[in-house]
Amino acid sequence: MKPRKVPMRMCVGCKTMKPKRELFRVVGGDGDTAVLDKTSKAPGRGAYVCPDEGCMHKAMKARALERALQVKVDETLLGQFKREMARRELQRKNI
């Protein structure tokens, strides 16, 4: 039996290829806003970012998220990102 192929995605901040499950997905949501996709199944144009605050800052500074999603990205996304990172860290420690 063949081993299953692991889906890989590129981080828009640091441009490295990583397994899809390790990355956060950001979606161009309703209208002109970008939101963090917690389920990785939301409809719409998506982009992936490493679970690292430096990558998110780099992606926002270079406007890589805006180009990939074709919507405006504001500071509320950074707040969502930080909360989700903290939540994942707590889950990882509890397991």
Residue 8 phi/psi, 5-degree rounding, is: -110, 145
Question: What pLDDT, on the 0 to 100 scale, is given for residue 33?
Answer: 86
Domain ranges of the chain: 8-94
Residue 31 phi/psi, 5-degree rounding, is: 75, -125
Class of domain 8-94: alpha beta
Which residues are CB-neighbours of 54 under 8 A, at least 6 positions away? 13, 14
Question: What pLDDT, on the 0 to 100 scale, is given for residue 82?
Answer: 93
User: β-strands 46-49, 24-28: how paired?
Assistant: antiparallel
End-to-end CA distance of the chain: 31
Q: What is the mean pLDDT of each run of 10 residues along the chain (95 residues)?
A: 93 96 90 88 93 93 93 90 91 81
